[in-house]
Structure 1
Amino acid sequence: MGKIAWVFPGQGSQAVGMGVDLAEHPVAKARFAEAEAILGWSILEKCQGDEATLSRTLYTQPCLYVLEAILCDRYREKAPQVDFMAGHSLGEYSALYAAGVYDFAAGLQLVQKRAQLMDQASGGKMAALMKFDRTELMEKIAATEGVTLANDNSEQQVVISGTPEAVDAIMNGVKTKRAIALNVSGAFHSPFMAEAAAQFEAVLAAVEFSDAKIPVLSNVDPQPETQAAALKERLKAQMTGSVRWLEIMQQLSALEVAEAVEIGPGKVLTGLIKRTCKDMATANIDTLASIG
């Protein structure tokens, strides 16, 4: 059997109604109760509420982490083989949980604080760009002060982040098939998150990390890693660093991964993998029914 990677989606994959099928599952119910005790609000209520509330960073990130952790644990019972873990932005926290770096509660407490800090960020702008001349785009970013490549998702799909003026300059100055401003409060995954990252670092320092049982490819460094200290350093850099998803996919190919399983709502990551790693099989675990 070929090598298998589990990948976990981040913010943007949420959808109203996600996780509802887990409501009566006994193990999931216990997790939801544990999450509510930590957060002070109900995951399932937010997932069944209005889209605007669910899409708010403060709620989106904990909801995704909890659902991904539950699905991961259920899927592991049926398909225990996994050779590598990776997650996109928020999904890296789920990947670290799945790799045994920390327990469910510790991960959720980190995600809660991260979500609070990112929700409070203001003054920045992010935009997604599709279909462009990559050389032209990178040269323009390098020449424009106040903007950075936040998410390098694929050869033809990126997210830029920075000041509104700098982001607008890229959107207006580079020919793209599509350029969309994102509905977020701040310039995530950029140096403009330095203050939030500094506050988060104190919270991160208090959480004990264990060595990963499965190698994790991190957003800021796509090389497989199991050492606890290195994984913590990578996570510390994540809030201000770029999500190097294109490199993660290329690395999974180089590691001879035959199948990538996306665990969580939506099909964003499997879509990117299908276009980038054409020989890699994909699967989606987004409901209990999909586990079989």
Structure 2
Amino acid sequence: MLFAGQGSQHKGMGAEVFPRYPGLVSFASDLLGYDLAALCTENPDGLLSRTEYTQPAIFVVNALHSFERAHREDRPADCYLGHSLGEYNALLAAGVFDFETGLRLVAKRGELMAAASDGGMAAVMDTPEERLWEVLAAHGIDGVDIAGLNTPSQLVIAATPPVLAAALGCLEEAGIRVARLRVSAPFHSRYMEPARVRFEEFLTGFTFAAPATPVVSNVTARPHRPEETARLLAEQLVTPVRWTDCVRSLLDPGDPPEFTEIGGTALTRMVHAITKGV
């Protein structure tokens, strides 16, 4: 089972499940200090696009859809995998922490990531890492990090505003397709180190159980081990999302897995690209 992360938010999200979980929605609203259902369904003042609101909203909506599926389906998932923020829903589904703990974690994560606002991200298409570094080096551009390896044909870079602008300029000049992402900071890069330090300290206040079902880590592309969960969640802020490697770790040519996505369709499209090798 795949869980979508930031970028999957949209006005109206959760409207179909909120009425079926009034207690959880009320609890989440009280914990967060605002009306979560109104945020998701009405998006007042465009708040849903702000990281500190986006992350708790996606976590709660993904969780409720996951609970719905668990009630409907007899057969549980064999493995959970979430993209960036979605990894928290994967860990929740695997019993690593409960709903309240997960919500507290993502609320703090969103707050810290929102505070790191000096930078941006962009998708780079059809360009291997080696070629990317070659083009940037030829123009003397330093300070770019790879923030995500989504498919064999799409990677994501992050940098400060002037460095990102220079990088995109030279990549376009070299005939490489790029697209800025609508994010407020250079997530999953060295520039999130202050947030990582504070989040690591925050995580010491929690205890994590062993996953009842394997959860693949964005950082290692391997299943979470209970003694490493806190460290991996902190490191996730400053290391690339290794989505391609995560998906490939689950592929078995003799028994192709079935993927079910909660929260959107973007991850499913990525899986198709990965399995086709394009």
TM-score norm. by structure 1 comes to 0.86
Q: Report what 1:286 is aligned to.
A: none
Q: Report what 1:38 is aligned to.
A: 31
Deviation at 1:238?
A: 0.4
Whole-Å separation in 2 of the counterparts to 1:111 and 1:144: 34
Q: How do residues 149-164 of structure 1 correspond to structure 2 at under 5 angstroms?
A: 149-164=146-161
Deviation at 1:138?
A: 4.1
Q: Report what 1:22 is aligned to.
A: 17
Whole-Å separation in 1 of the counterparts to 2:231 and 2:256: 26
Q: How do residues 71-82 of structure 1 correspond to structure 2 at under 5 angstroms?
A: 71-79=65-73, 80-82=75-77
Q: Which residue type is aligned with residue 249 of structure 1? A: V
Percent identical: 37
Q: Report what 1:197 is aligned to.
A: 196
Q: Which residue type is aligned with residue 232 of structure 2? A: R
Change (3 A) 1:257 1:223: farther
Q: How do residues 1-292 of structure 1 correspond to structure 2 at under 5 angstroms?
A: 6-25=1-20, 28-50=21-43, 52-79=46-73, 80-140=75-135, 144-174=141-171, 175=174, 178-225=177-224, 227-254=225-252, 256-264=255-263, 266-278=264-276
Could you report, residue by residue, the CA deviation over 1:200-222 in whole angstroms, capped at 9, with x for unpaired residues?
A: 11111111100000111111111
Over aligned residue pairs, what C-alpha RMSD do you find?
Answer: 2.0
Whole-Å separation in 1 of the counterparts to 2:246 and 2:157: 18
Q: Which of the pair is proportionally richer in strand?
A: 1
Whole-Å separation in 1 of the counterparts to 2:214 and 2:135: 35
Could you report, residue by residue, the CA deviation over 1:132-186 in whole angstroms, capped at 9, with x for unpaired residues?
A: 3553114446774211010111111121111223222321222455322223222
Q: Give the secondary-structure state (helix, strand or coil) at the position aligned to 2:167.
A: helix
8 Å CA contact retained: 1:141, 1:148: no
8 Å CA contact retained: 1:57, 1:115: yes
Whole-Å separation in 2 of the counterparts to 1:21 and 1:181: 31
**The 10-residue stretch of structure 1 (140-149 or 83-92) with the greater mean CA deviation from structure 2:** 140-149
Whole-Å separation in 1 of the counterparts to 2:175 and 2:41: 36
8 Å CA contact retained: 1:84, 1:224: no
Deviation at 1:251?
A: 1.1
Whole-Å separation in 1 of the counterparts to 2:66 and 2:274: 24
TM-score norm. by structure 2 comes to 0.91
Deviation at 1:278?
A: 4.3
Could you report, residue by residue, the CA deviation over 1:250-273 in whole angstroms, capped at 9, with x for unpaired residues?
A: 112148551011112x21100111
